[in-house]
């Protein structure tokens, strides 16, 4: 048996959330209102800065299930080019090289994500990975989505369940495997392997990684850029206020008649 490498998608392989790009495509197709898209864009910004939570992820999963129910799978398959056009530029080149180095060392590489199985497999194919593990959606005999899941939601405790199934099927030794993620919600995934690595970790995962001595990779820059921008803006505001105060304190110049 040989090891493998499992990569979370959002904030690990790519900046931000792949779900935002699906929302944009769905809005263009008339499946969700534009207002929902704006809310998802705001949620994506918060996600990039703070990471995900179990509560927000569960709400998203329930909302998506309600949206997709009754639609044909082909409708979503046709959105794939638009979604890829949004996702591919957001990929971290550094993480792609890490994944490919695992392959060059003889390990299989998989995306392991809460998004759909179809999305995970599509991205894995495009990136040259060996496969994808995602959330499996139920489809009826007519190719229509029911809104229900097949098996566990591939999030939290659901990820190691699917990883163990894959490992048994493909002869993978999880103790000799790697896992990469950004969120404390993926602690079950990280603890399922012998070599956990945290990427752009949220506060809770950073704390656990420090306690456990896990490897940490950091290169998400949005939060740092916003802090710098805020500091520059604050400095500019202080400088402007100081100039206004100085002008008020300056003595008035005498007029031409010696007043």
Q: Are residues 194 and 127 in contact, defined by beta-carbon separation less than 8 angstroms?
A: no
pLDDT confidence of 43, banded at 50, 70, 90? very low
Q: How far is CA 167 from the centre of its chain?
A: 24
User: Residue 199 pLDDT more than 80?
Assistant: yes
Percent of the chain with pLDDT over 90: 49
Query: Distance between CA atoms of 156 and 47, rounded to whole angstroms?
Result: 16
pLDDT confidence of 48, banded at 50, 70, 90? very low
pLDDT confidence of 46, banded at 50, 70, 90? very low
User: Residue 133 pLDDT more than 90?
Assistant: yes
Higher pLDDT, 116 or 23: 116
pLDDT at residue 242, as a whole number = 45
CATH superfamily of 4-217: HAD superfamily/HAD-like (3.40.50.1000)
The CA distances from residue 164 to 71, 173, 183, in Å, are 31, 9, 20
Q: Residues 232-253: pLDDT tens digits?
A: 343 344 444 445 555 555 555 4
Residues in the chain: 259
Enzyme catalytic residues: 8, 10
Radius of gyration of the chain (CA): 24
Q: Is 64 helix (H, G, I), strand (E, B) or coil?
A: helix
Domain range list for the chain: 4-217, 221-253
């Amino acid at each position: 048996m040989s090891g493998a490498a499992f990569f979370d998608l959002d904030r690990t392989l790519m900046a931000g959330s792949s779900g935002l790009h699906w929302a944009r495509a769905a809005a263009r197709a008339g499946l969700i209102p534009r207002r929902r898209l704006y809310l998802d864009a705001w949620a994506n910004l918060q996600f990039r800065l703070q990471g995900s939570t179990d509560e927000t992820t569960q709400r998203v999963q329930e909302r998506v299930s309600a949206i997709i129910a009754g639609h044909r799978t082909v409708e979503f398959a046709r959105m794939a080019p638009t979604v890829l056009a949004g996702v591919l530029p957001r990929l971290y080149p550094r993480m792609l090289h890490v994944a490919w180095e695992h392959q060059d060392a003889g390990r299989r590489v998989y995306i392991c994500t809460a998004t759909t199985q179809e999305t995970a497999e599509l991205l894995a194919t495009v990136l040259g990975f060996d496969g994808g593990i995602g959330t499996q959606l139920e489809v009826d005999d007519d190719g229509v989505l029911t809104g229900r899941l097949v098996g566990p939601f591939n999030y939290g405790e659901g990820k190691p369940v699917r990883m163990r199934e894959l490992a048994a099927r493909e002869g993978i030794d999880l103790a000799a495997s790697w896992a990469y993620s950004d969120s404390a919600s993926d602690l079950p995934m990280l603890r399922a392997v012998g070599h956990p690595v945290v990427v752009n970790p949220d506060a809770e995962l950073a704390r656990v990684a420090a306690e456990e001595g896990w490897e940490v990779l950091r290169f998400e820059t949005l939060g740092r850029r916003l802090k710098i921008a805020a500091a520059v803006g604050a400095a500019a505001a202080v400088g402007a206020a100081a100039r206004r105060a100085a002008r008020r304190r300056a003595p008035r110049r005498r007029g031409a008649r010696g007043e």
